[in-house]
Amino acid sequence: MTGFDAIVSRYEERTRKSREVFQEARQYLPRGVSSNFRVVDPNPIFIESAVGTTITDVDGNRYTDFAMAFGAMFVGHAHPKVVQAIEAQAKKGTLHAMPHRLEMSVAKELRKRFGQDQWRFSNSGTEATMHAIRLARGYTGRAKVVKFEGAYHGAHDTVLVSNKPPLRLTGLKSRPRRVVWSDGIPEESYAHTLVASFNDLDSVRGQFQANLNQVACLIVEPIMLNMGVTEPDPEFLPGLRALCDEYQALLIFDEVKTGLKIAPGGATEHYRVKPDITVLAKAIGGGMPLAAFGASAEIMEELNSLRVIHVGTYASNPVTLAAAEVTLKEVLTPEASKRAFDLNRKLVDGYAALIREHKLPCYANGVGSMGTINFKKDVIKNYRDWYTLDRKASHAWYLGMLNEGIIPQPPGPDEQWTISVQHTEADIEAHLKTFARVAPLLKSL
Ligand SMILES: Cc1ncc(COP(=O)(O)O)c(C=O)c1O
């Protein structure tokens, strides 16, 4: 039996009940899950409860969770203040689909943090990036959208392009070919999507030049957090700002993951670059399904005048907004966030030391509350670098850590861990001690 098989076999033994539920679930849910991102080989674990930083599965295994719902749970699970706000609001009504004062309260807080005058709320990152792009197209009267190879901005047709394409289909790095991710998307639906390479300003300029006066917006995740933790070079985001100004396209920051989790005011604060439209989701809802997009009053005049449509029955439902209000004002305070960032630094540094000690061909990287091991020796700058990382080692790390009671991050080398405001020094020490046991296994897979 190989080292890898031994890890899988132990995992299968520990997750027998999950496997049984999985087999049954497959009869009712394709692949047994409700989102493709939850597929795990040989089977996912099925969850009974998530409280604080502890997750319990149906086999009774307890884990310290660092996946934190793909980073959405920066507040930690079942935070008492968030639970209380949800309970109190639920008693006053869960949904009336009419205006209420919480919307303004949360919008005010977002304006303070992100500097955008006005906001609209949606339920998911997918919806919010879709609306942000429509707003940019309405405002500019142009159709084309530039996105980066490897970036994920949600599951709508315009952006489900070149997310994780096989390298043989991608063409030149200076002008990546658009590769649609899913069947069921007609070519017409993504014909206006253009693809550039992250950390490569020339590839962006090339697309603007080749499509003069046609590009409505460029959408970028300021740190590529669907490629581990791939940071922008220092000149990259200012360079994008300048190019968008030069070619009169709007700059959209997709801060679904970075918002709140690298600074209280997200990438705008961290990198001091202001986009035209900011998109938020995940952490702002404190665990409830909330997204938002914000822009200047001038750009939002498109919505104000009703020229651009934004609607939604569940948009800004009061339970979600009550959770968001307490999350922003009382839980994810600048002090609590800084504490989580400091703990994350300890975890990243601890990983780096253990990687050195065990001479593993990979590196740890982190920003704010997020981090990961990039299973590659050289620093990843773009999708093509990321593509060739060691997926087997990454999966062995993931399952190996689960075997020892730590969920190190969401499944897959695309992802990263999140240190929530409920994690403690003891959680970080336990994580590192566990990695010290798993690291030697990664040498002989
Ligand atoms: C950067 C980014 N944008 C958008 C989305 C889509 O958000 P949602 O899953 O809420 O639709 C995600 C989800 O992971 C994301 O990471």
Enumerate the domain spans of the chain. 3-74+333-443, 80-331
How far does CA 426 lie from the centroid of its chain? 26
Which residue, by CA, sits nearest to atom 4 of ligand 1?
153
Pocket residue to mutate for ligand 1, from 73, 74, 153, most atoms within 8 A of Cβ: 153
Sign of the CA dihedral with 396 first, then 401, 403, and 404 last: positive
Question: Ligand 1 mean position to 125 CA, how many Å?
Answer: 5
- Beta-carbon count within 10 A of 6 CB: 16
Q: Is residue 125 in contact with ligand 1, taking CB distance under 6 Å?
A: yes
Q: Is residue 142 in contact with ligand 1, taking CB distance under 6 Å?
A: no
Q: Is residue 153 in contact with ligand 1, taking CB distance under 6 Å?
A: yes
Determine the pLDDT at residue 274. Answer: 98
Residues 67 and 417 sit within 8 Å (Cβ to Cβ): yes
Return the amino acid letter for 30.
P
How far is the CA of 373 from the CAs of 63, 149, 196, 354, 395, in angstroms? 19, 21, 25, 11, 11
User: Which fold is adopted by the domain 80-331?
Assistant: Aspartate Aminotransferase; domain 2 (3.40.640)
Say yes or no: do domains 3-74+333-443 and 80-331 share a fold.
no
- Beta-carbon count within 10 A of 175 CB: 15
Q: What is the DSSP string of 352-416?
A: HHHHHHTT-S-EEEEETTEEEEESSSSPP-SHHHHHTS-HHHHHHHHHHHHHTTEE-SSSSTT--
Return d(Cα 441, Cα 212) in angstroms, integer: 53
Determine the pLDDT at residue 408. Answer: 98
- Beta-carbon count within 10 A of 332 CB: 25
Q: Is residue 124 in contact with ligand 1, taking CB distance under 6 Å?
A: yes
Ligand 1, atom nearest to 35 Cα: 9
Instruction: List for the chain the helix, strand, coil content (%; round to 5).
Output: 45, 15, 40
3-state SS record for 334-354 = HHHHHHHHHHHHHHHHHHHHH
Ligand 1, atom nearest to 124 Cα: 10
Return d(Cα 441, Cα 362) in angstroms, integer: 14
Question: Ligand 1 mean position to 270 CA, how many Å?
Answer: 20
Return d(Cα 419, Cα 347) in angstroms, integer: 9
DSSP-derived pairing of the beta strands 277-280 and 250-254: parallel
How confident is the chain (445 residues) per 10-residue block, as mean pLDDT? 95 98 98 96 97 98 98 98 98 97 98 98 98 98 98 98 97 96 98 98 98 98 98 98 98 98 97 98 98 98 98 97 98 98 98 98 97 96 97 97 98 97 98 98 92
Return the amino acid letter for 102.
L
Which residue, by CA, sits nearest to atom 9 of ligand 1?
125
Catalytic residue among 147, 257, 261, 282: 282
Q: Is 57 a catalytic residue?
A: no
Residue with tokens 């990961």: 372
Hey, which CATH number is domain 3-74+333-443, 3.40.50.720, 3.90.1150.10, 3.40.50.1370, 3.90.320.10? 3.90.1150.10
Q: Is residue 257 in contact with ligand 1, taking CB distance under 6 Å?
A: yes
Question: Ligand 1 mean position to 253 CA, how many Å?
Answer: 12
Residues 52 and 66 sit within 8 Å (Cβ to Cβ): no
Would you tell me the crossing angle of helices 236-246 and 201-210 to the nearest 10 degrees?
10
How far does CA 204 lie from the centroid of its chain? 23
Q: List strands edge to edge, sheet with 406-407.
A: 47-51, 54-57, 62-65, 406-407
Ligand 1, atom nearest to 127 Cα: 11
Taking the whole predicted model, whether its pTM rises above 0.85 is answered as: yes
The torsion angle over the Cα atoms of residues 48, 65, 329 and 224, rounded to 10 degrees, is: -120
Question: Ligand 1 mean position to 280 CA, how many Å?
Answer: 9
Which residue, by CA, sits nearest to atom 3 of ligand 1?
153
Q: Is 385 a catalytic residue?
A: no
Determine the pLDDT at residue 191. Answer: 97
Return d(Cα 400, Cα 408) in angstroms, integer: 10
Residues 71 and 370 sit within 8 Å (Cβ to Cβ): yes
Q: List strands edge to edge, sheet with 417-418.
A: 363-367, 370-374, 417-418
Return d(Cα 371, Cα 415) in angstroms, integer: 9
Q: Is residue 288 in contact with ligand 1, taking CB distance under 6 Å?
A: no
Residues 78 and 421 sit within 8 Å (Cβ to Cβ): no
How far is the CA of 293 from the CAs of 105, 110, 223, 421, in angstroms? 15, 10, 18, 24
Helices (H), 141-190: 187-190
Q: Is residue 193 in contact with ligand 1, taking CB distance under 6 Å?
A: no
Instruction: Select from 159, 171, 158, 179 the least CA-distant residue to 221.
Output: 159
Residue with tokens 């315009």: 158
Q: Is residue 365 in contact with ligand 1, taking CB distance under 6 Å?
A: no
Q: Is residue 129 in contact with ligand 1, taking CB distance under 6 Å?
A: yes
Q: Is 363 a catalytic residue?
A: no
